[in-house]
Structure 1
Amino acid sequence: MQWSIITIGKPGHPWVKDALDLYWKRLRHYARFDHVVIKEGPLDKVEQQIQAVCGKDPCIVLDERGRSLRSVEMANWIEREEVSGRKRVCLVIGGADGHSPGFRDKAQVCWSLSHLTLQHDIALIVLAEQIYRAYTIMRGEPYHRE
């Protein structure tokens, strides 16, 4: 399955790039990933660009108001999506303005990485790690402990 992770604005610190490089390297053994960066701007224009990138593929919005998943639940969701033959999924991390209520409502799913509001660079790292964790759970690899 192809994962498109969409963020608003480029990662702002070298340590963020280092952390992402680590997880992208680990994840390439499991699936294909691309990171799409959309330039910050008015929320309505940004959301139009996100919709254009996602097209008809499922759009999962990450927002503190979303549904909280345990790592095992995320692994189960990914496994179901892969078995379904899904070709691509878009995961969207908002910028400083977050997501509009209408955009959240249109999304296939709205997930929360935390009930706290996370700065988008930190949310990106947490997301990459959780996807990696989910794949190791699915493969029975000794990364996740429960």
Structure 2
Amino acid sequence: MQWRIITVGKPALPWAKAGLEDYLGRLKRAARVEHMVIKEGPREQVETQLLQASEDSLRIVLDERGKARRSLELAGWIQEHDVRGTKRASLIIGGADGHSERLRKAADECWTLSSFTLQHEIALVVVMEQIYRAYSILRKEPYHRE
């Protein structure tokens, strides 16, 4: 399965850029992951672009109201979707205004990384680490300890 991580605005914080690049590099051995940036702007325009960028894939919106998953559950979800033949999953991380009800309803799934509202650069690094962790679980690598 291919992953498309879509964010509103590109990372500006040096540690977030470094974290993104680190996990993109680590994931090259396990999965195809791309990061796509949508330019900030009026919410309706941004959400239209987010929907267009994710229209050919399973849409997953990251939102504090979404479903929480443990790392082992995410690994199982990936395995299940690989078996089903899911070609692409798009993870959508919103901007400062978050996601509207319209975007949440257009999603196939809604996940949360935390019950806290997370700044988009933090959410990006956390979700990249969790995808890496899930693939390390599937590959039976010693990264994850439980």
Question: How does the TM-score come out when normalised to structure 2?
Answer: 0.97
Q: CA RMSD in A?
A: 0.8
What does residue 141 of structure 1 align with?
Answer: 141
1:117 aligns with 2:121: no
What does residue 94 of structure 1 align with?
Answer: 94
2:56–2:88 CA contact under 8 A, matched in 1 = no
Count of residues in correspondence between the two structures: 146
Structure 1 residue 19 displacement after superposition: 1.0
Q: Which residue identity is paired with 1:5?
A: I
What does residue 38 of structure 1 align with?
Answer: 38
CA–CA distance in structure 2, aligned partners of residues 110 and 54 of structure 1: 14
List, as ranges, runs of 4+ consecutive aligned residues in structure 1 with deviation greater than 2 Å. none
Query: In structure 1, the residue corresponding to 2:62 is in which secondary structure?
Result: strand
Gaps of 5+ in 1: none
What does residue 78 of structure 1 align with?
Answer: 78
What does residue 55 of structure 2 align with?
Answer: 55
**Same amino acid, percent of matched pairs:** 57
Query: In structure 2, the residue corresponding to 1:37 is in which secondary structure?
Result: strand
Q: Which residue identity is paired with 2:7?
A: T
1:54-99 Cα distance to aligned partner (Å, 9 max, x none): 1131110000000000000010001111111111110000000000
Question: How does the TM-score come out when normalised to structure 1?
Answer: 0.97
Query: In structure 1, the residue corresponding to 2:114 is in which secondary structure?
Result: coil
1:33-58 Cα distance to aligned partner (Å, 9 max, x none): 11110001111111110111111311
Gaps of 5+ in 2: none
